Amino acid sequence: MSDPSSSQLAFWVPFLFIGFWLFMSAFFAFISGWLSLSNHFRATFRPEGQKVTSQVKQMGMVPENRVTHLIISEQGLYVYANFLFRFLHPALLIPWSEVRLVREIKTLWRYTYQLDIGQITTLRVTRRAYEAMQRFVAPV
């Protein structure tokens, strides 16, 4: 005979996992600055442009490896999250006037570039992503 408490636990595990996932997504949206950015720059459309995937390294203090993707367009920098991480991470369209290069960072043999986004948070991207957007980004 099976223990009733173990069958109850098995029933609740998926709900607990989903709840924890949503909580962590909300927490990361808050501490990364994504929620604040969405108050100012929530996208109403997806622009045409060069897709740059898996090149965002960090937003605010949150590592974003392979979670956040970009579209470089004439209208601005379109930022969107991978499907599994979209809770409280709406797509953003940030005008180029709000994107500024802060500094180039060298770690061992790689360069990353820290951008100021609307004086709200920072976005750290790889060299490939920065070179794709360089003509639009104003230096500080």
| Per-residue confidence (pLDDT) for residue 127, from 0 to 100 | 95
Please give the helix or strand (H or E) that residue 49 lies within, else none: none
Count CA within 13 A, CB hemisphere, residue 14.
3
Tell me what pLDDT residue 134 has.
95
CATH architecture of 32-139: Roll (2.30)
pTM: 0.91
Question: Which pLDDT value is given to residue 139?
Answer: 75
Block means of pLDDT (10 residues each) for the chain, 140 residues, are: 72 92 95 97 97 96 93 97 94 97 92 96 96 89
- Report pLDDT for 2: 59
The β-bridge partners of 5 are none
Report the distance separating Cα 61 and Cα 63, nearest Å.
Answer: 7
* pLDDT (0 to 100) of residue 4: 66
Residues 6+ apart with CB under 8 A from 90: 38, 42, 43
